Amino acid sequence: MTESSKQKSFLEVSEGHFAKLVEYVARLRAAGLRLPGRHGRVNKTAVARACGFARETFQQNHRFAATLDAAVEELGIELPEAAEPESRNSEDKAKIMRLEQQLATSRSEIHELRRRLRRFESIADHMAGSGRRVLP
C-alpha cells in the first residue's frame, strides 16, 4: 500500500463518519427530538456511539465539533429528569439512630470478647507448654 492510498482510506472513513453524524442530526430534527444530555451538556459519548465512531473524534476534528455545536443550538439538549430523594420521616431517623446504637454496642462487646479470648488462649498455651495451672 502506498502512502497516498492510506491517506485516502483515512479520508473516506472520516467522511463516512461525518455523513453518519449529519444523518443522525437530521433524524433527530425530523422526529422533533433533542440531543441526549448529561450534567447540563450534550452527551458526546451517546452521540458518538449512535453514529459509530469514537467520542474523541469531537476533540480531534473541528468539523465534527462545529456540527455538534450547531445541532445543540438548533435542537437543544434533552436532560434526564433527576429523581428526587425521598425525605426520611422522624420514624425512620429514630430507627436508624437505634440501629446505630445497637451496632456500636455490638462492636464494643466483640472487642471485649476478643480481648478475653486472647487472654484465655495465652493461658491455655502456657498450661499446655508447662503443665502448670495459672491463677487468674
Structural domain contains residue 101: yes
Please report whether residue 83 resides in a domain: no
| 22 and 72 together in one domain | yes
The pLDDT of residue 51: 92
Determine the pLDDT at residue 39: 83
Q: What is the DSSP pairing of strand 35-38 with strand 77-78?
A: parallel
pLDDT at residue 91, rounded to an integer: 85
In this prediction, residue 133 carries a pLDDT of 74
97 in the same domain as 37 = no
Residues 105, 67 within the same domain: no
Residue with cell 500500500: 1
C-alpha 98/C-alpha 114 separation (Å) is 24
pLDDT, residue 9, reads: 80
What is residue 87's predicted lDDT score, i.e. its pLDDT? 63
Domain residues for the domain of 30 are 3-78
How many C-beta atoms surround the C-beta of residue 79 within 10 A?
14
Q: What is the pLDDT along the chain (136 residues), one digit of tens a residue?
A: 555 555 668 888 889 999 999 999 999 999 888 999 888 889 999 999 999 999 999 999 999 999 999 999 998 888 776 555 556 688 888 899 999 999 999 999 999 999 999 999 998 888 888 887 767 6
Both 7 and 71 in one domain: the answer is yes
Burial class (CB in 10 A: 0-12, 13-18, 19+), 53: buried
